[in-house]
Structure 1
Amino acid sequence: MLSLRKDMINKRVLVNQKEILPDIIAFNDGLTAALLELYDRSHRIWDNIKDNEDFKGAEIEAKCYLSYDYPKLHPVQGDDRQDLWNAICDAGWNRLYYDGVSLTRLSID
């Protein structure tokens, strides 16, 4: 997914860098914020249950995934974009996406 994204970005950005770069920065900032929230929320949940006898031996596994809807604000639009987006967001086609966008899952035990 990252390699495909890199190739797409490189082709578009080098030609239209001033117009597209703010969107890429916003996407990266949004993704970073989502992963930080996932991390913080997972730890808050774990802190609330870790000492509860009913949850002894339990663990939390957290993963972050993209929405299935192709973003309307994405700088590259076209009829085939939703199909491409579906392939990127499908672990059956894109094995790197099995654990979501972070490449590894967060496990707390």
Structure 2
Amino acid sequence: MSSITYDEFEKVEIRVGKVIQVEDFSKARKPAYKLWIDFGEALGIKKSSAQITKLYDKADLVDRLVLAVTNFPPRQVADFMSEVLVLGIVVEDGEVALVQPDRPVPLGKRLL
């Protein structure tokens, strides 16, 4: 992978949000959830689809803080418009572990 400059990194807007609603996403090609994430006054509520069903139950996701790229253009996934990309780490067997702050932080704050 090639190196990037700090100026290039600054173009990626990664913000903290709180999952407020989760639904099964039966129309997705791979098992996924529909997420509604509150980014506070910075962005309000945004939607995302996430293939995180192997490690997380829906009930475990509500009120969880997550990090997401918030300045990608929206992407149509089946019949759902995904507005942000929730960040995770691919571990064994394609399972995805979410990335999150290690303590409570204000919603909408940007990762530096």
Coarse TM-score class (shorter-chain normalised): under 0.3
Structure with the higher strand share, 1 or 2: 2
- TM-score, structure 2 normalization: 0.24
Structure with the higher helix share, 1 or 2: 1
